[in-house]
A = this chain, B = another copy of it.
Amino acid sequence: MVGAVERDEVRERFRRSGYTLTSQRRAVLEALRDSEGHPSAEEVYLAAKSRNPKVALGTVYQALSVLEEIGLIEAKRWSESPVRYDVNTEPHHDIRCTRCDAVEEIPGVDLGDFAAHIRENTPYDVTSASLVIEGVCPACQTQDG
């Protein structure tokens, strides 16, 4: 049961942020939560439309940026792919398959005090440091050399 507790959490975040929790935004968030991987805006749009046909692509982009702003989702970027969205807001890394475009999580790896090392070696005020990881997924490895 993912339901009750998270529903309250969502309402609470919206309330605190001042944004209103509309049916479209709810559809976008639920589409994202039910999706297996880390979908693109376009994929979220298709999934959200099947829940609530009254939702436009532009609205999905806007909803995603609101959801990100209030901390319910995260955006992740790889160079050869549109932005992917992630409902898992716990710190973790994701790897993208360069052949089939799948994205999966990498458990148990922590940037740890790497950020500290960086801070020691630059006069910048470091605000973010994230890893962009790519590879070939098991399924694509077996498909050929």
Contact = CB atoms under 8 A, between A and B. Distances in A.
Contacts of A129: 131-134
Interface in A86-144: 93, 95, 97-98, 104, 106-109, 114, 117-118, 121-138, 141
Contacts of A125: 135-136, 141
Contacts of A138: 123-124
Given A79-B77, A95-B124, A117-B109, A132 B130 contact: yes
Interface in A29-64: none
A77 B128 CA distance: 14
20 contacts: A95-B118, A95-B124, A98-B127, A104-B122, A109-B114, A109-B117, A109-B121, A123-B137, A123-B138, A124-B136, A125-B136, A125-B141, A126-B133, A126-B134, A127-B134, A127-B136, A128-B134, A129-B133, A129-B134, A130-B132
